[in-house]
Amino acid sequence: MEQKKRLVVSYKNCSEDVLQAIKEKYPLGYGDAIRKIEKPNGESFHAITVDLEDVSYLVKVNVKIDHLTEEEFEKQFGANSEDADSPMEGKSEESADNVSQDSYDE
């Protein structure tokens, strides 16, 4: 069996076939499937995966990361660390599974 071709593509440059495959694979949205990809030069990007019959895509997506301090979070959302655990406890922007980009062509 022949191995699928692997490509990296930006979401804004996806074909209709790829966009349809994304909608089918992630009907409720892909927010939980986003992975941080580290490039060999130290830069990184965020992406999701989607497969078509003959190609496996790593689709670059834009991600907005808020960098609120606990105090700013409590002020904005009304959480009080004495009354409830911080929803950010144990979480970080780095917690997404890291995927090696080595096997994808850009």
Radius of gyration over every alpha carbon of the chain, rounded to an integer in angstroms: 18
pLDDT of residue 38: 94
pLDDT in tens, 13-68: 999 999 999 999 999 999 999 999 999 999 999 999 999 999 999 999 998 877 77
Q: pTM surpassing 0.75? A: no
Distance CA 43, CA 27 (A): 30
Residue 84 banded pLDDT, cuts 50, 70, 90: very low
The answer to whether the beta carbons of residues 45 and 53 sit under 8 Å apart is: no
Burial class (CB in 10 A: 0-12, 13-18, 19+), 55: middle
Largest CA distance in the chain: 59
For residues 78 and 100, give the distance between their C-alpha atoms in angstroms, rounded to a whole number: 39
pLDDT per residue as tens digits for the range 67-82: 777 787 777 777 554 4
